[in-house]
A and B are shown apart, each in its own frame.
Chain A
Amino acid sequence: MRKLFTLTFVFLLSFSWLYGQNKTVTGTVKDSQSMIGLPGVSVTIKGNSGGTQTDEAGRYTLEAAPTDSLVFSFVGYVSQSIVVGDKSQINVFMDDENMALEEVVVVGYGTQKKVDLTGAIGSVKAAEIVKQPAMSAMQSIQGKVAGLNVTASEAPGSTPQVTIRGLGTALGGRNPLYIVDGFPTDNLNSINPSDIESIDVLKDASSASIYGVRAANGVIMVTTKKGKVGNVKIGYEGYVGMKNMLNQVKMANASQYIQYYNENIEGIGRGTLLKPNQANNTDWFDEILQNGTVYNNAINISGGSEIVDYFVSVNNFTENGIIDGSKFVRNTIRNNNTYKFLDNKLKFSQNLNLSFNKSTPKPFGAFNDAYRQTPLAPVMFDNGRYGTSIYNSSTGIAGYQTAAGETTGNLNSIGNPVYAIQRANELLNSTRIQGGIEGEYQIFDFLKINSRIGGTKIFSNSRTFTDIKDAWLNGNPLRTDQEFQDLKDKNPNVVGYANNSLNYRKNEDFRWQWETFLSFDKNFNGHQINAVAGFSREKSGISNMLSGTGYDLPVLEQYWNLDMASADYTKVVNQTYYTPRALASYFGRVQYNYNSKYYATATIRRDGSSVFRNTGEYFATFPSFGLGWTISNEDFMKDNTVLNFLKLRANWGVLGNQDIPLNVSQLLTAEGSSNYNYVFGPGQDLVLGAAFGSPALPVRWEKTQETGVGLDFEMFDRKLSGSVDYYNKLNTNVLMNVQPILNSAFANNFYDHGGKVRNNGVEVILNWKNSVSEDFNYNIGVNYAYNHNELTDVKPAYDGAIGGSLSNGQITKQIKQGQPLYGWWMWEADGVWQNQDEITSGAKYGTPRPGHLRYKDQNADGVIDNRDKVFFGSYMPTSTYGVNLGINYKAIDFSLSGYGVAGNKIYNALKGTRINGGENITEDTFNNRWISSNGSNVNPGADRDSYASSYYLESGNYFRINNITLGYTFKKLYNSTSNMRLYFTAQNPFMFTKYSGFSPEIASDGNPALTSGIELSAYPTTRNFLFGVNVQF
C-alpha cells in the first residue's frame, strides 16, 4: 500500500516536471453577457509581477508554465484565476461584478453574493429578460426559475398569474410581493422590461421573511438599470411582431351542425328539424380573428461620472390583439440617477417611472360566442342587421324570412360574436407615476444608514358607451326602429329603452412607503458579520372612485360627455373613498460566515397591519433562520478538481399573509336594486335599507411555516452547475372566506382561520455551459419543480365550500380536507346510456335519454346526486419545467426555450356547457358522438345533458416551445463598443398537448374558487413572430 502511494507520488512529481516548461498561451477575453471581446483586461501569472493586457478585440498572448495560474482582472468584472495545465489556448468569459459566479443577488434591504446565500433565490438577468419580449417581464421569465409558476395570458395588457412554490391560501392574497427598487408594487405591467437589470425571486422562508408581512407567497425583487461610470452609452431596442392563434380548434360546419341539431331534436322528441343545405356556413373564428401585431421601441441613455450616474429611457409598446379593435398602448419614461457626495460617502439615488397606458379591451366572451354560434347564421343579414340564430320554425330554414302563417324561433341564445366585439366600446386610460428617493450615508466604514421614501400615484379612467337601441334592433332582425320608439314612448323613464348610455369612471390610487435601515458589515479574522436593522411605514390603497352614467347621448363620439346626456333620464353618480391599508414594520437580519465555509442567517420581522382593527391586535412576529456550509471550501475538498463548488443550505422560517379587507363587523347597505332596499308608497319610491353583516371574528395573521434544504454545486471547471431544493410549507391557519351556516342569521361571508394548507416539493436546476473555442460556446439548462398541494385540515363546518361555477348552475370544485385547495369535484362519467331499459333500471339523475352520459353511483343508493360527486385532482400543475438552450457561434447567437406543466386538469366548459342545444360543437365532438348505431360508450350523443362531469375534465399537460431566437451581431460599427444585433424570434411556435380546447394555459384571475382551470371565455394562447434590432453605442 505504502509502495503504491510512493509510486503515485513520484509519478505525479514527474508529471508536473513535464509540465514545468514555459509555453505560449493565447486566448480571447469576452464579456460573458454580450460576448464581445474585452480590451484592456489585465492578464497576469499568479505570484509574478509581469503580465499583459488584452488588445482591441480582447486577445492576449503570454508565456506561462503549466503549473501557473493566469489571473484575469478588469474593473467592474469579477477576477478569474485559471490553471494553465496542458492548454495552449484559454478563452475567458468575464462576468460583470453583478453577474454569474460571484453573482450578487438582491435580497431585502441589501445585496448578497450568490455563493453566500443560505436560502433559495432564483435570479434572472437583463439579457435573459429581453430575449423573450413581452409586455410584462413576468411573462418573459416563464420557465426560467424553478418553482416559479407563471400562467401567462396573451390578452393585450393582461397580468400573468404568478405562483411561487404552490398556492398556500384561498384568499385574495395569492400574489407574490413585488418590490421594485425597494418599493412595493402590484405587478410589473407598467415597467418596460428592458429597463430591468435583474429579477430575483426569494422563494424560501429565510430569504423572504425579511418581508414577513406579505412574504408567504414569495417575494420578487426587481432592480432597474442604473448608469455606470464611463462614457455615455446609447441603446436602442426595437421589435415588430405578428401574433395569431396557436391552437385553433376546428368547429363543425353547417351540414355537421344541422345533423347534430336534428339528432338532438329527435332525441328530445320535440321541435322543428332543420333542412339540409342551408345558405350560410359561417366560420365565426375566421370572422372575429385577425393577425395581432406588436411594436416595441425603446431608447436608453446612460453613463456616469464621479458626481452623478444617470439612466434615462423611453419606451413605446403597442399591441393590437387578435380580436379586431382590441388594442393596448404603453408609453414609459424612466429616469434613475445617483448623486454622489463626500467621496461617495453620501449618495442619493432617485428613480422615477412614468407610465401611460391606453387600451380598448374587447370582451373575451366573443371567443365563447364564436365557439357556440351556429354556422347557419350569417355575420350580417341582407337587411343590414347582424346575424342571429333566428330560424323559420315552420320550415326549419335559418333566417328571418317567413311566409304567411309561418313562425320563427331561435336556434340558441348566443349572441353574434362579431357584433359583440363591434358594440363593445370601452376606452381605458391610466397614468402611473412611480418614484422614490433614497439617501445612503456611510457613517463608519462598517456602518451605513439608508432611508428611502417613495410613492406611486395612479390616475385611471374608463369610458364605456353602450348603444342600447342598436343592441335591441340587432337582437332580432324583424324588429323595427318604430317598435323601439313605441316602447321608448311607452316607458319614458325606463333606461332599458334609452337610445344609449355612457359611463365615465375615474379612479385615483396612491401608496407611499418610508423605510430606514442601518447596515453593518465587518470582517475580522475570517469572521464576517453583516447585519441590517430598520423600520418601515407603508400606506396603500389611498383611493377613491367617481363614476357617472347618463343616457341618450349624441351618437358622434366627439360629443360623449355626460353633460350632453338627455335630461329625460336620471343621471347616476357613484362615488366612494376606499379604506386604505397601513402597515408598520420593524426588521432585522444578521448574517455570519466564517471563512466562507460556515454560514448562519437570522431574520426577524415584526409587522402590524391595519386590517385587524376589530381586535386592535395588529402585530405579529415572523422569525427565520438559515444555515449554510460550503463544503468545497473545506481543506479536504481543496484538491477536488471535479467538484468546484458544493454548498449545503438549510432554512426555517415563518411568513405572514394578511391580504383580507378591513376585518370589522359591518352594517351592510347598497345602492340601487339590492336586496337591502325596497320600494314603498304610491309612487313606489326607492327606500334604502340595511342589515347587519356577520360579526367579525378575531382573526390574526396567516402564518406559513416553511422548512427547506438545498444543495448548490458546480463541477467540471464550473461547466456544470446546479442546485436541488426541497421545501415544506405549511400554512397553519389559512384565512378562509367562510359561508355562514345556511340557517344562521347572517348572510355575508366572514373571515376565519379555517384550516391548513401544505405545499411541499422539490426544485432541481441543472446548467451546462461550455466554451469549445473562441468562436463557439453553448449552454443548456433545465429546471424542474414538483409541488404537492393539499388541504390538510379544515374546520368541519367550513369543509365542503363549493366553487368553480360554470355560470349555468353547475359547479365543479369543492374545498375538502385531504384534497388540493378547491379540487375538481363532480360526477364521474361512466359511459353512455344505450337504451331506455338501461335507464329504467340504472341509477340516474332526472330523466336521461339514450345517448346521455351516465354517471357513477358512488354511494350505490340508486340515485345520482351531489353525494355521488368525487374528486379529480386540481387545476394546479404538480410539475412545471423549463428547458433553455443557447449557442453562440462567431456573430451568430441561437437560443431555444421551452416550458411545460404536468399533473393538472382543465375543464373544457366550452365543450361541456350547453343551454339550448342549438349551440355549435367542434368537428371532433361531431365525429365522435354517440349514435344508436355506433353505441359509443364514451362520448355522449347530440341529445345530451349539460351537467358537469369528468367527461369534460381533461389532462392539462402541455409542453410549449416558447421561444426560438436566432440573432446576428455586427460588431464595432462605429467604435470598439458599438454593435448592432438583429434577431428573429418565434414565440410559442409549437405546443404539445392532448387538450381538446384552445389552450390548457388559462390565467383567469387566479382565484381558485372561481374559473381558474376552466376554459370558458379564456383568451387563447397565441403564436408570435418577432423581428428585432438592438443597437448599442
Chain B
Amino acid sequence: MKFRNLNIALLMAAGLMVSSCAKDFLDVPSNEIIEAGDSEENYSPEVLVNGIYGMFTDWNYGFSFLGITEIISDNSEKGSSPTDTGSDKDILDNLTYTSTAGSFAALWEQWYKSIGRATNAIEYTENYGLTDEALKNRYIGEARFLRALNYFWLVRGWGDIPIQEQDLIKRVPQAEVYDYIEADLQFAIDHLPAKSKYAAKDLGRATKGAAQALLAKVHLYQGQWQQAYDLSQAVISSGEYSLEPNYEKIWRLEGENGSESIFEIQARGSSIAHGIQQYSQTQGPRGGSAGIGWGFNTPSQNLVDAFNAEKDEIRRDATIIFRNEVMYDGLKIGNTENEMYNEKAYSSANGGAGDTDKNLRYMRLGEIYLIKAEAANELGNTNEALTALNAIRTRVKLANTTASGQANIRLAIWKERRLELAMEHDRWFDLVRTKQAENAMKAAGKPFESKHYLYPIPDNQLIQTPEMTQNTGW
C-alpha cells in the first residue's frame, strides 16, 4: 500500500511540474531574424534610411527598368538573341504590351515598396528620440527626397496614382500627387546639407542640391516654368557643381560622383561587390571576344541617326559601344551578336560580373542646364535659354544652335535632351511629357496609340484590388 502511495505521489508531482512551465517553455525568442520590437535597441534611424537607398540596387533596376524607360522608346531596342524575349522586353520594344507585362508590375511594386521603406524610416526616426535635431531632420529629409523620387517615377508613368500613406486603392489626381512630391522635396531642400557639407563617408547621400534639382524637374513636368527656372538656377549658381569638360569621362570610374554629379546610384565592384544588380551585365556586349553581358537594351539605329545628323560624335561614341570596337581601356569587344550596346552601363573593371562598380548617373548638372534652358525659353528669356543650351553643346564641341524663336528653340532643347541624356532612362518620360511620343514612335515604326501615354496599371495589382480603375485603353 505504501508502495502504491509513493507511485501516486510521484505521478502527481510529475504532472504538476509539467503543467506549470508550459508557457515559459514555449516562449522561444528569435535568433536569426530581428524581431521588430527589438529594433530600437539595435538599430539607429540611419540604418533604416540606408535601407531605402538599398532599393536602388534591386534587380528590377537592372532589367525591367531598362524595358520601361529605354527599350520602349525610340532610343533603344530589346537586343540580345531574337529568341530571348527578356520576359517582356520584346513586347515593350514593339509596343504590343498589355497590362500583364511583367516589367510594369516589377517597377510599380519596386517604387511603392521604396516609398514604404521611406515612410517607415521617417516614422522610426521621428519616434526614435534623437536629440540632434539637425541630424534627425537630415535623416527625414533623405527619406522624403527618396520618397518623392519614387512618386515622381510613378506619377510620370501612370498619371493618377494612389498615395500609399493615404489609401492603397483610390487613385489621387496627378496634380495632387505632384503637390505631395513638392512638399517632400521642400522639406528636403530645407533640411539637407549641400554636397560639400556632408562628411566624406556620406558621399552619395541625397543633398540639398539633389532635392532642388529634382524639384526643378518636377516643376518642368507641370509646366511651372518660373519655379523650374529658379530651382535650376539655384543649383547652377550654388557653387557645388560644374560641368565635366570631357563628356565621356562622366561614365568612367574617375567621373564617379564627379563635379557634375547631383545624384547617383552608388555601386561597388570589389569584394563585397554591391551595385544595381546585373545592371552592367544585362546590357553588356553579348558574344564576341569580350562576351561580358546579355546584350539587352541596345541603342537603336534611330538614335545613331540622331547623333549623326547632328555630327555629334563625342556623345555618340560615349553612349554607344559598337561591334568590334576597342574600348578606351583596351578591351576588344569583338564580333558581338548585336551591332551596338549601351556604353553608359559599361564597367571597365568588373566586366560581366553581377555586381559591378557602375554608378548610375541619375541626375547631373548637364540636365539642369537643359531644364533651365527650357524654362527660360518658355518664360520668354530667349537669350538665357540659348546660353544654357549652348553651354551643353560647347562641351561636346558642337557649334552653337542656329535655332531661333521660342518654338524652334523649344525643339532644339528637346533634341538636345535626347542626345545629352541618351540611355539615361529619361527618353520615354520626355517623349510623353513633350507629347512628341506619337510622332517619334511612328517615325521609329512602332504602333503608338493614345493609350500609350500612360502605362497600364499592372494586372496583378488589379487582381488584388479589383476596385482600382485601369488607365484608359488598357
Contact = CB atoms under 8 A, between A and B. Distances in A.
The finding on whether chains A and B are genuine partners in a shared complex, rather than unrelated, reads: yes
B37 A847 contact: no
Interface in A556-570: 569-570
A745 B350 contact: no
A143 interface: no
A916 B43 contact: no
Contacts of B268: 679, 684-686
B81 interface: yes
Contacts of A800: 460, 463-464
Interface stretch (B94-102, B211-219, B362-370, B426-434): B94-102
Contacts of B38: 667
Nearest first, the 4 A-B pairs at minimum CB distance are: A745-B116, A407-B335, A689-B50, A809-B87
Given A741-B464, A742-B461, A809-B85, A688 B50 contact: yes
A409 B28 contact: no
B200 A689 contact: no
Given A443-B7, A487-B351, A582-B25, A863 B203 contact: no
A637 interface: no
A746 interface: yes
Contacts of B266: 678-680, 684
B113 A678 contact: no
26 contacts: A270-B82, A409-B335, A410-B291, A444-B4, A491-B350, A494-B270, A535-B19, A570-B271, A570-B272, A581-B28, A613-B27, A618-B22, A664-B35, A681-B201, A684-B266, A688-B47, A691-B54, A692-B120, A695-B36, A741-B461, A742-B105, A743-B168, A746-B116, A866-B100, A915-B81, A915-B84
Interface of B: 4, 7, 11, 14-15, 18-19, 22-23, 25-39, 42-43, 47-58, 81-88, 90-91, 94, 96, 98-102, 105, 108-109, 112-113, 115-117, 119-120, 124, 162, 164, 168, 200-205, 257, 266-275, 277, 287-289, 291, 334-335, 337, 349-351, 353-355, 357, 458-461, 463-466
B56 A678 contact: yes
Interface in A238-260: none
Interface stretch (A46-54, A220-228, A427-435, A572-580): A572-580
Given A580-B28, A662-B30, A684 B267 contact: yes
A609 interface: yes
Interface stretch (A285-293, A303-311, A668-676): A668-676
A686 B460 CA distance: 34
Given A579-B32, A676-B54, 11 more contacts: A478-B289, A494-B270, A496-B350, A582-B28, A583-B26, A684-B204, A691-B52, A742-B108, A742-B458, A800-B464, A946-B85
A494 B91 contact: no
A835 interface: no
Contact of B31 (A443, A537, A577, A865): A577
A270 B77 CA distance: 16
Given A578-B32, A846-B91, A676 B204 contact: no
A846 B94 CA distance: 8
Interface in A635-668: 661-662, 664-668
A297 B274 CA distance: 51
Contacts of B99: 865
Contact of A674 (B54, B100, B105): B54
Contact of A687 (B11, B37, B50, B351): B50
B64 to A, nearest CB: 11
A746 B114 CA distance: 9
Interface string A474-504: 0110100000000100110111100000000
Interface string A396-424: 00000000000111100000000000000
Nearest to B334: A407
Contacts of A570: 271-272
A576 B96 CA distance: 48
B28 A747 contact: no
Given A579-B33, A667-B39, A518 B11 contact: yes
Contact of B349 (A491, A682, A745): A491
Contact of A685 (B201, B275, B460): B201
Interface of A: 264, 268, 270-271, 393, 407-410, 443-444, 449, 475-476, 478, 487, 490-491, 493-496, 516, 518, 535, 537, 569-570, 572, 576-584, 608-610, 613, 616, 618, 661-662, 664-669, 672-682, 684-693, 695, 741-747, 796-797, 799-800, 809, 845-847, 863, 865-867, 914-917, 945-946
Nearest to A672: B272
A797 B19 CA distance: 41
Contacts of B51: 676, 689-691
B86 to A, nearest CB: 7
A287 to B, nearest CB: 24
A640 B38 CA distance: 72
Given A270-B82, A665-B37, A691-B117, A743 B200 contact: no
B54 A809 contact: no
Contacts of A687: 50
Contacts of A581: 28
A584 to B, nearest CB: 4
Among A576, A690, A863, max chain B CB count under 10 A is at A690
Given A582-B28, A610-B27, A742-B461, A667 B43 contact: yes
B186 to A, nearest CB: 23
B90 A846 contact: yes
A871 to B, nearest CB: 15
Contacts of B39: 667, 690, 692
Q: Among B270, B288, B289, B458, which residue has the most Cβ atoms of chain A within 10 A? A: B270
Contacts of A609: 26
B83 A582 contact: no
A668 B202 CA distance: 23
A742 B109 contact: yes
A494 B164 contact: no
A809 B288 CA distance: 25
A579 B29 contact: yes
A682 B359 CA distance: 12
Contacts of B26: 582-584, 608-610, 618
B270 A493 contact: yes
Given A667-B35, A679-B267, A691-B48, A744 B201 contact: no
A584 B25 contact: yes
Contacts of B90: 846-847
A800 B4 CA distance: 63
A686 to B, nearest CB: 6
Nearest to B39: A667
Contacts of B275: 673, 679
A490 B205 CA distance: 29
A406 to B, nearest CB: 9
A917 B82 CA distance: 8
Contacts of A476: 291
Contacts of A863: 96, 98
Contact of B83 (A409, A681, A742, A915): A915
B120 A579 contact: no
Nearest to A661: B33
B258 to A, nearest CB: 12
Nearest to B57: A675
A790 B288 CA distance: 51
A800 B81 CA distance: 32
Given A270-B82, A496-B350, A800-B460, A408 B270 contact: no
B57 A678 contact: yes
Contacts of A583: 26
Contacts of B463: 799-800
B353 A579 contact: no
A686 B168 contact: no
A494 B86 contact: no
A866 B36 contact: no
Contacts of A686: 268, 272, 274
A491 B99 CA distance: 43
Query: Among the interface residues A578, A666, A684, A744, which one has the most CB atoms of the partner chain B within 10 A?
Result: A684
Contacts of A743: 108-109, 112, 162, 164, 168, 461
